[in-house]
Amino acid sequence: MKLAVVAITVVAAISSATLSAKPLVIAHRGASGYLPEHTLAGYERAIDMGADYIEPDLVITKDGKLIARHDHYLGTTTDVADRAEFADRKKSLEGRADWFSEDFTLAEIKTLRARQAFPGRTREFDGKYAIPTFEEVIDLVKRKQQQSGRTIGIYPETKDPGYFESLGFDFAKLLLDALERADLNRPGAAVYIQSFEPEILEKLNRLTALPLIMLVTPVSKDRPATPNIPLDRIVEFADGIGATKTLLIDATGHSSGVVEAAHRRGLLVHGWTFRSDAYPRQLFSSPEDEIKRYLEIGIDGFFTDFPDVGVKTRDELFPDP
């Protein structure tokens, strides 16, 4: 069984002791509400807004390099569709016609530019930012730590690890090697590793002391308060759950009981995703009102596209002494 910290308001003693003992504000794909997701500019903006952690989703290139993209298909978040030199790379995979990271070398990926993926958000920064490697994200965090004097955490997600394993890539090794080179694969480092696939977390549990987070959703529409992976299984290999918001409260805005059940088992609970431009208006009067409700039921941290809103709201409920 993984060692975890049972906490309602005290968060992640297994992380760096220099981080605030408050619910964590995790910058979802960077400051993705303001800038194209998974760009160094977006991560830096999130850090400057006060986020405790930044979240790089990771996929793998043809030559085995980790890059920050939410999906291994590239059409929605880059300008690849406009690049004539890559027109012949488009293919159909699992019913999707697109361009895929595993068909591009890192050098080719570096010629692409990021785009805003969400409708309704500003497109003024499209085409301005390159696609970063995981190492570049780590380097940015270290530089910002030196400048600010505060600890900034990294919360990588392994995207489609089983698929990449089928192509011959050892996702766990690539990730841990990158962290090892940065002196971050050690107890006390401000790093969480997350995944939707339990198999890679079970593997990582044997290889690292870093805290692991199992991403969970409702098992079905008929059982909205039941995680798709049982909590009693999760405690065997992980330190917490990253839960979609609808799993944590019911249709009336009250706790579903999942937070309490997870805490009884020693699991942390990080909720996702809080968006100021997309929240359930039938339940909450504002994005801040939504965040406050989840903090009140005891989540240990939350992912948000708008880190400034998250930090301000969290700090109102949990002011510094």
Residues 6+ apart with CB under 8 A from 221: none
CB 166 within 8 A of CB 157: no
* Of 151, 32, 130, residue with least CA distance to 78: 130
pLDDT at 16 over 80: no
Q: What is the predicted pLDDT for the residue at 10?
A: 30
Average pLDDT, integer, range 228-239 = 98
Q: Which residues of 267-288 are buried (b: 16+ CB within 10 A; e: fewer)?
A: bbbbbbbbbbeebeeeebeebb
Q: What is the predicted pLDDT for the residue at 7?
A: 34
Length of the chain: 321
- What confidence category does residue 21 fall into, taking pLDDT thresholds of 50, 70 and 90? confident
pLDDT at 11 over 50: no
Mean pLDDT estimate for the chain: 94
* pLDDT tens, position by position, 297-318: 999 999 999 999 999 999 999 9
* pLDDT tens, position by position, 74-95: 999 999 999 999 999 999 999 9
Angle between helices 198-205 and 171-181 (to 10 degrees): 50
243: region left, alpha or beta (phi > 0 left; psi from -120 to 50 alpha): beta
- Cα 50 from Cα 70, distance rounded (Å): 22
pLDDT at 5 over 60: no
Average pLDDT, integer, range 151-167 = 98
Average pLDDT, integer, range 94-109 = 98
Q: Establish whether the linkage from the previous residue to 273 is cis, with ω within 30° of 0.
A: yes
* Of 155, 180, 158, 189, residue with least CA distance to 52: 155
- Take residue 285 and report the two structure tokens written for it: 């009067």
pLDDT at 51 over 70: yes
Q: Which CATH architecture has domain 24-72+131-317?
A: Alpha-Beta Barrel (3.20)
Angle 55-270-1 (CA atoms, 0-180°, nearest 5)? 105
Cβ neighbours around 291 below 10 Å, total: 28
> Position of tokens 């085409």?
127
- What confidence category does residue 2 fall into, taking pLDDT thresholds of 50, 70 and 90? low
The residue extents of the domains of the chain are: 24-72+131-317
- Cα 156 from Cα 295, distance rounded (Å): 23
Q: Which residues are catalytic?
A: 28, 70
CB 60 within 8 A of CB 66: yes
Q: What is the predicted pLDDT for the residue at 73?
A: 98
Q: What is the predicted pLDDT for the residue at 3?
A: 43
